[in-house]
Amino acid sequence: MRYKTYSQEIVFMRITSSLVLTALAFATLLGCSKSAPYPMAPLPIGPGGGYSTGKPEAVFTATPASIEPGETVRLQWSSLRADEAVIEPGAGTVPLKGSLEVRPTTDTTYTLWLRGPGGENTVTARVAVRSSLSLGPTVDENADRSGRRLFSGTFEEEVSSRLQDIYFDYDSNSVRPDQQATLDENVRTLRALFEEFQQGRIIIEGHCDERGSSEYNLALGDRRAQSIVEYLGQQGVPLGRIMLVGYGEEMPQCTQANEACYRLNRRAHFNPRP
């Protein structure tokens, strides 16, 4: 009987201890819950992969980076935290990840513009065309006695194929930093064109996206063209052979109502002048 009573007491004590410990643990949890923060929900995943916070990022390459005229280049890109992508010049809106073959005729800086929940970002990839004008005169069977490189096409054809558009930020007529190299390349090309084609003339057109009034956009387009002309003059390009016109929103090259198109329409365009 004593042994049985002792065993019962032990069992009773163990049960009691377990109940007390459980009660203390429960009370502790209740006390802590007053000050502990609620667990945060997982961050949403953006369409480009990764968390949808922070500025978009991308890997953007051009292979090969140096070519001969007529050869192709493969642009490849992969973005993170982006839901919209545009490649300038020429390609326009592109998938958030992909590749594209291009055939530049002169040294070209390609810009991948990204937009996502965390803002905007740009990444560039440059391609050098080894016998392009930006690398200086080339002496070959198509050069005259002075060593000056001759153009194979007419002035109109060369202007249309060689001079690249210059793009602007919203409501701005200042040249974007990522467009400066392209503008400098246009300067070098224009100098050679004007030397080769003594009667050649060009018109610089200023364009805008559709936002804002028609009157305001016409004035802004004019200011954009004027800013390019002023820079050309500072670099020694003869201004007597250049005209400018502001078209505002009247001649868009992209007609969709989204930021990707708006970016393509905010530009200065170079045209041969009749």
Q: Where are the domains of the chain?
A: 1-39, 46-129, 131-274
At the topology level, CATH places domain 131-274 in 60s Ribosomal Protein L30; Chain: A; (3.30.1330)
List phi, psi (to 5°) of 218.
Answer: -60, -45
Q: CB neighbours of 9 closer than 8 A, spacing ≥ 6?
A: none
Ramachandran class of 248: left when φ > 0, alpha when ψ lies in -120 to 50, beta otherwise: left
pLDDT in tens, the chain (274 residues): 334 444 444 444 454 555 545 555 444 444 444 434 434 334 444 444 444 468 888 888 888 887 887 788 888 888 888 888 888 887 788 899 888 888 887 778 888 888 888 888 888 888 887 654 444 444 343 444 455 556 888 999 999 999 999 999 999 999 999 999 999 999 999 999 999 999 999 999 999 999 999 999 999 999 999 999 999 999 999 999 999 999 999 999 898 989 989 999 999 999 998 7
**pTM for the structure as a whole:** 0.56
CATH number of 46-129: 2.60.40.10
Q: Do domains 46-129 and 131-274 have the same CATH topology?
A: no
* β partners of residue 250: none
Q: CB neighbours of 122 closer than 8 A, spacing ≥ 6?
A: 111, 112, 113, 114, 178
